[in-house]
Chains A and B, each alone.
Chain A
Amino acid sequence: MAHDFTSAPRIEPSYSKPQGNYLDMEPTPPFRYKFHPERWGIIDGDWLPILGTMRLVAGVNGVEEKNGHLNLTRAKVNLEINGWKLLDLDVYPDGGPSGYLAAYQGKKGPIHVSVFETPIGSGKNVAFRRDEKLYADFLRSLISEGYIPGPDPMVIEKLIENQKVLVGRIASKPTVKTSPIVEQELKNAQELLDAMLAAQAKGTVVVTVHSTPKTPKAKR
């Protein structure tokens, strides 16, 4: 009698290439944000920090691999010598256990970006949509929650002075009245200077309330 296969268990088919919604771009490593007291800029109308990123890649700026795990001890020493402060993932509790770090599956490996970026597009044309307001609020919360200090007035004065020099330099170009490109550069620089002065006058930073309840942390 012929064997009946109708009751054989189904299994998932195997494929040689990844299936599903994988991003067609090169993988990127996980990272941590870091803060320096002299790096500030105008973001969303306020003086907010321009954060750096420490990429968790063995061999970069002192990150080393030991027993299958990344060791950041020497990397932190390198950072602190230059005045940086590393920001742990939990400074952004709204992002869940991975904080401000998000990862998407790429065809060749995971792609790590911030939670403020979302991939859009299809096929080989992958772009990221940014939530600028949410990122600015995150930066504000770093100050209001005490993870980083607010901007030093002397640093802000120096940055404003640099911007004034830049505006003057562009305004004195011989092509400022004849070249639309230079005219636009002058407009951009003047607008930024105005925003810097307005933010300096505003002074205080808006306090951000997290949507996720969190245990109050002592001011640092």
Chain B
Amino acid sequence: MMALIAALAVMFSWAFSPNTFLIQVRSTYAPMQFNTALLFACLSLAFFAELRYHGLRDAFCLFVFLFAFATLSQYLTGIDFGIDQFFTKSSIMVLTSHPGRMAPQTAFVFILLSTGILLRKFDHKFALLSNVISLLALAVTLLGAASYFSTASAFAWGNFSKMAILTSILFTFLSLTQLVVNYLKYSERWRWSPYLASALVLFLGLTLWVTYFNKIAEDLKTEVHATLLHESALIKGLIEDRMNAINRMTERLSYTGPNQNWALDLNNYFRSYNDLKTIFVGLSTIKKNQKSLTGFKKMDIVWDFERKNPYNDFSVKLPLYYYSQFGLRNVGFEIDLASVAKRVVLLDDYFTSLRVGDTIFHFSDEFSKSVDAEWGQEVEFQLYATKVTLRKTPKLKKMTSNQASLSLFLITVIFCTAVWTAYSIQLNSDLRESKEILAHASSRLKALIAALPFGVFQTDSSGKCIFVSEKWCEITGFSPLEAYGEGWVDALHPDDRESVFKEWAKATQLKKEFELKYRFLKKNGNIVWVQGKAMTLRNSSGDPIGSIGGVLDISNEVEQLKIVETQKIQLIQSDRMRSLGQMAGGIAHEINTPLAVIEMNVNLIREMAKNNCLENKVAVSASNKISSIVDRISTIIRGLRSFARDGNQDAFVSNSIHELISDTLSLCKDRFDRAKVILKFENNDFNLRINCRSAQVSQVLVNLLNNSLDAIAMQESPWIKIELAEDTNWVYIHVIDSGSGIQKSLQDKIMEPFFTTKEIGKGTGLGLSISLGIMHSHGGSLDYDPSYANTKFTMKFPKPQIDT
């Protein structure tokens, strides 16, 4: 019935206005074609006609069969028979290329179903085949339906359109109907078909459940419920009717047997049934048994009496039928009268036979007509009997197919509900667990941020601050509110703002971490040096969603560095002073001699002048000597002064190397003399110049000379040689002493600070390392030459490039 309605609806919508819901249900599903709807209508009518009009049924089935066959062959042969355009002329756009043509699977299933129905015509001969075909139809249908729930394209049969969802649904029902009908007819052959049907129903229920859960469940439930209600109302009415009939009959019979209360029992019994039990009892009478054994017609429906009717000459016959919405004549009931037969009677649709024990009674047609007879009217009929072998009846209670479908549907419902409930419980507990984990992680993170020794900040993708930790506020002196958005910029030291932005932009562009040392300016005017570091936060697709970073207060380190720098300078100065101290005695001595010369010459002039014997020649000569000796003193003083100065602040100026070396040597001369070291400085190139800080170069030279002196003082005839050399890019001052070189193991260490081979207190070990530092700051180097036989140190200066 439903199939018919649905089919009609689809046809209607195709014909008049494309209502996409009716046709397609969902926009991604294939629509039911017009022809499909047409054929569904025919099939449904065929089932309808099942009841009465066998001829009509056959006609419809045949029509369906031919139509479907034609369609299928269209696909197979590629020839257009023109049936697509039979009913619909134009192509209505609901995502289909052939508005009339149905999917090949659809055609195939139509063929199967119609064949199945037709086969039933031939009764039980093709029963098995019919069932198989129906099952196959069902299977194909379910595959077609499954194509909507899975991604396997095999169900869509290549490039052809999918079977429409409505089509699948309707097919399912029709196939099932087919199966059940077969079951009804050929239950002997197909005993387990209810279970098979049940299994298939179960499967269908599950698949439908997945998508149309509530709707279909509701729909089906409502429908079945309505059906049952209707039917039970019907039955109730009929029961009452029959009960009255029994009463009437009892009266009429005037039965005075031992169980005259039989009718009353029956009455009571009926009353105690609830309306879901389909009890429909009709009674008719037969005359005294008349057995005549003639030929028989094979029965395919039997009923059993397990107990003999104690009322010997009274048997209960049961014309049992009612009409259901499925268009079937579903016959069956269960009766449990103490004294009468126990089991069901399944009659064929023409109500022609029954079986008692191992005898089958075949009624003539008149008996069937007794249904229409008046009560009390006598109906004569023939009864043929034949003996048959009783088949063992299954112990199991056979459910009515109705009950079977219902109960299995309920089982499906319960099962799916259970699954869904379990699933959602699991989901809920997972969710709760996740929430808990998240909460834990959150609080851990908060605690961690608070415990970090540096301040943490977070910005969004546009650089606006969205979070600052407590420590950050401590460092900058800004409150979180003041820092949010663009506020944090005000915390930066004005001089550093530009460099911070520049570095930030560079880091963003190059996709590296941001790292920079900069200053915050606190509100009270204090400056805080920080090391800032930040990295980009990305979401799961890799897009930047902001940054997170930290600022570490490095004020202490900066202070330390400043102190160290200062100390370094002081160290250089003190080293120089120490050298100076060493030289002081010698310098004093060096000046005293020239002073004595002056004194002597002055005395000469004075005495002679006093005695009037001063000759001009003598005066001039003495004066000249005085002048030259004064020059010498100046040189020493000059050398001393330039050495003593802190040359760290000097500019690099061009100096004559010769002059530099000479001045320095004059400072050291005394020490050389006292140590009896012969000093050789031979240089003819007075034009060689370098850009340097003379004080510092002097310091290096003094250091080297002192080292040499210390090393060779014990020798027999010690000497120190100073040589100059130059090439294209460099100027060299070689300081060579009569020592035999430095041990290989010590060569790397001598330039290290605090390394000395002298006794404690004799040397700080700093001289060479400071000298090295000075040479580096001049762009040159201080090297020891290990390949030279004697100890040779080289001061290397970059040669000043001549600007032309």
A and B co-occur in one complex: no
Contact residues of A with B, CB < 8 Å? none
Contact residues of B with A, CB < 8 Å? none
